[in-house]
Chains A and B, each alone.
Chain A
Amino acid sequence: MMRLLQSVGQNGLATVAGLGDFATFASRAVAAALSTRQLGRRWIRAVHEQGVRCVPVVTIVGLFAGLVLGLQGYYVLARFGSTGLLGTFVSLTLTRELAPVLGALMIVGQAGSAIAAEIGIHRNSEQIDALTTMGIDPVGYLVTPRLLAALIVFPILTVAFTLVGLAGGFLSGSSLLGLSAGVYWSSVHSAVQPADVRECLLKALVFGVITIAICCHSGFTTHRRTGVSGSRAVSLSTTRGVVLASIATLAADYLITSFLI
């Protein structure tokens, strides 16, 4: 019993310490935006890393999400004789929930894992120490550009996900199942309000900052993985970064939704 209590206490303390460490790390990254030089060039590279490289996966997943929503929605609404509301169903589901959440998860899978692994390798090969000895703030050099890139990449890719998803819903609802195109697009137009778009973009922004900060932090602290080192530590950091970022996305989604609904 004592051992159990001791273990719970130790884990609790470690979690609190970890949260504190993460908060310090994230604030350092934000503060470094003011002092880091050559930020523009590294920001462009980060936008390419997170944005351009993630376009295929985000659009493909968005298309299939829209296709499935159109298909499922059509048959459910048909039971109530309301197939005319398919556009409303697809657009609101995408805008409010699926596009920000699934988009973020896809970017985490593609870019977040790469970021955690790259920074982990920088840590393993003493490149982060080298930056420190050169007088360059490693957080400002490696993390800040990526956080700033997330601020623009996540909203843009979320909008892309939504648009492709709407097209997917149209393909399955209208082209395959025969719903009038005019009915579909007019219900999309009348359903989506500015508040929905704001919610969508707010979620994308929050998910972007949280997930990229978690992935960067996970790579940055690769050397603190106890009991492992080298490539195994990088592998664990990458997995941990992706898992924590995914959980944080869903938790933040619930919190934001509960505040805004």
Chain B
Amino acid sequence: MIDAPPPPILEVNGLRKRFGEHVVLASVDLAVPRGSIVSVLGRSGTGKSVFLKCLAGLLTPDAGAIRFENDSPDRFRRRCGYLFQGNALFDSLTAFENVALPLEHTTRLGRREIAQAARDALKNLGLDKFADYFPAQMSGGMQKRLALARALVTRPQLLLFDEPTAGLDPPARNAIFEMIVRDRQRFDFTAVVVTHDVPEALAASDRVALLEDGQIHFEGTPAEFAASDDCIVRSFGDNIVTLRTSLDK
């Protein structure tokens, strides 16, 4: 007997967004199954971050529908987390204060409970010894982990990652994807990851979507992506081989 696929926690239909005359998203359709990691791949400037910002409510789409499981977008977004490409940490606050910030302003928890939750979140990501550090005193990888700790501290149901590995070295990139997979199991969230890192995305994701010309050009499992004959999909999968061939020439 085959298990039925989990119901989508998020469904996007005909999403359209343009800036002036420039159409960034022509018509995007995507369903994100509950509990999965969905990576959205695409070349630079194809609107991946715009898509994510539309999901988070930071940009208003011109047309289309975004449906969250059993809830209105505004209410559901309170249960979403967002990891920004540049981390968006408050540089005048310590690591501890950055993590405690959403709890202080959006929950009714007492001071002790907030402190405990913030310490736990830092500990989960190996930052408990750096609670008094300011973001500027941390490395890029540590800042990324701190941003993830801040996003996770409110226990969101859906986490949106905007280029989580931008500017990191290969081992740090692997560590970030390992962290996403590990924390998804631990905290039971659904993740939408916008990224350029094809090998890492294929290894860590349950499903992969390719954004091209303002539409989802491909959507499927990593195995289907790797086996696809489509030339645009192959251009992503083969890019490492192509680079090696070019260099050898």
Q: Which residues of A contact B (CB under 8 A)?
A: 36-38, 125-127, 129-130, 132-136, 141
Contact = CB atoms under 8 A, between A and B. Distances in A.
Nearest to A130: B88
B57 A132 contact: yes
B101 interface: yes
Given A127-B90, A129-B58, A134 B84 contact: no
Identify the interface centre among A127, A129, A134, A135: most chain B CB within 10 Å of its CB. Answer: A134
Identify the interface centre among A36, A126, A132: most chain B CB within 10 Å of its CB. Answer: A126
B202 interface: no
B86 A126 contact: yes
A133 B106 contact: no
Contacts of A135: 77-78, 102, 105-106
A133 B81 contact: yes
B88 A38 contact: no
B101 A134 contact: yes
B208 to A, nearest CB: 24
B51 interface: no
Contacts of B84: 126, 129-130
Interface string B57-94: 11000000000000000000110111011101110000
Please classify the interface of chain B as helix (H, G, I), strand (E, B), loop, or mixed, using the class held by over half of its residues. mixed
Nearest to A140: B105
Nearest to A136: B105
B105 A129 contact: no
Interface in B102-161: 102, 104-106, 150, 154
30 contacts: A36-B105, A38-B104, A38-B105, A125-B86, A125-B88, A126-B88, A127-B89, A127-B90, A129-B53, A129-B58, A129-B82, A130-B82, A130-B84, A132-B57, A132-B58, A133-B57, A133-B58, A133-B77, A133-B80, A133-B81, A133-B82, A134-B101, A134-B105, A134-B150, A135-B77, A135-B105, A136-B101, A136-B102, A136-B105, A141-B105
Nearest to A124: B86
Please classify the interface of chain A as helix (H, G, I), strand (E, B), loop, or mixed, using the class held by over half of its residues. loop
Ranked nearest first, the 4 interchain pairs of A and B with the lowest CB-CB distance are A130-B88, A133-B82, A134-B102, A126-B88
B25 interface: no
B156 to A, nearest CB: 10
A133 to B, nearest CB: 4
B56 interface: yes
Given A127-B88, A132-B57, A132-B58, A37 B81 contact: no
A133 B85 CA distance: 14
Contacts of A125: 86, 88
Given A132-B57, A134-B154, A37 B82 contact: no
B80 A136 contact: no
Contacts of A130: 82, 84, 88-89
A214 B81 CA distance: 31
Nearest to A118: B92
Contacts of B53: 129
Contacts of B90: 127
Nearest to A126: B88
A160 to B, nearest CB: 27
Given A134-B106, A134-B154, A135-B106, A129 B88 contact: yes
Contacts of B102: 134-136
B44 to A, nearest CB: 17
A33 B80 CA distance: 25
Identify the interface centre among B53, B105, B150: most chain A CB within 10 Å of its CB. Answer: B105
Given A126-B84, A127-B88, A133 B105 contact: no
Given A129-B58, A130-B82, A136 B106 contact: yes
Given A133-B56, A136-B105, 17 more contacts: A37-B105, A125-B88, A129-B58, A129-B82, A129-B84, A130-B82, A130-B84, A130-B88, A132-B57, A133-B57, A133-B82, A134-B106, A134-B154, A135-B102, A135-B105, A135-B106, A141-B105
B9 to A, nearest CB: 17
Identify the interface centre among A126, A129, A133: most chain B CB within 10 Å of its CB. Answer: A133
B57 to A, nearest CB: 7
Contacts of B88: 125-127, 129-130
Contacts of A36: 105
Nearest to B59: A129
A127 B89 CA distance: 7
Interface in B24-56: 53, 56
B58 A37 contact: no
A198 B82 CA distance: 49
